[in-house]
Chain A
Amino acid sequence: NAGVTQTPKFRILKIGQSMTLQCTQDMNHNYMYWYRQDPGMGLKLIYYSVGAGITDKGEVPNGYNVSRSTTEDFPLRLELAAPSQTSVYFCASSYSGGQLAKNIQYFGAGTRLSVL
């Protein structure tokens, strides 16, 4: 069972470059999330999605874009990379049935991004 898969695992970008972080899940979860984690800090929510075609901003959305064309995939796009976007990015997903407040989020292995 693959769970949540993120690619790439590591990436170095130059300032101003663009890239897409890929996230796919095989658990048939409708809800998906993107977080970033800076050194010594907790995770902060960037964007989330409740299903294909529906996305919404989290706490720190500036500089990022997302799309959700399928249930399985939730890519995160950086258009003009800046040093402040150096971080570890985690994708997560959760079940949408039952009592929503109790649903557990499952995390991918993360993408470590450096912008130089």
Chain B
Amino acid sequence: QKEVEQNSGPLSVPEGAIASLNCTYSDRGSQSFFWYRQYSGKSPELIMSIYSNGDKEDGRFTAQLNKASQYVSLLIRDSQPSDSATYLCAVRMYSGGGADGLTFGKGTHLIIQP
């Protein structure tokens, strides 16, 4: 049973600070890791993807992956009120047989305080 765990929050961060979101996963064979942002009542929107150990930066966002610890994180620098949303961690284990779906965590509700 593939599982993805996230702290549901809410995580409250002052505007301009760094928001740190964490995720652990159970399937050691997992190969692809994604962070989606979801505003209330809206569909998930991809923020970051990461496939190799280490850091990946894109603008104010940095994804970090540690496969040995089965841990993936998302850092948001210079947090803005518009970053307030639920952040979903998603993991895919590619079995080679086709298009396996993503396994999602329950999401972390992030609140950026002005």
A positions within 8 Å CB-CB of B: 30-31, 33, 35, 40-45, 48-50, 56, 58-59, 90, 94, 96, 100-102, 104-110
Contact A40 B8 (CB under 8 A): yes
Cα distance, A109 to B103, chains bound together (Å):
19
Chain B, interface SS category: loop
B99 in contact (CB, < 8 A): yes
Contact A45 B101 (CB under 8 A): yes
B4 in contact (CB, < 8 A): yes
Interface size on B, residues (CB 8 A): 26
Contact A43 B31 (CB under 8 A): no
Taking CB atoms, residues of chain B closer than 8 Å to A105 are 34, 46, 102
Taking CB atoms, residues of chain A closer than 8 Å to B32 are 101-102
Out of B31, B42, B98, B102, name the residue touching A45 (CB < 8 Å): B102
B positions within 8 Å CB-CB of A: 4, 8, 31-32, 34, 42-46, 49, 51, 88, 90, 92, 94, 98-107
Contact B88 A101 (CB under 8 A): no
Contact A48 B101 (CB under 8 A): yes
Question: CB-nearest residue of chain A relative to B44?
Answer: A107
Out of B4, B8, B51, name the residue touching A101 (CB < 8 Å): B51
Cα distance, A108 to B106, chains bound together (Å):
19
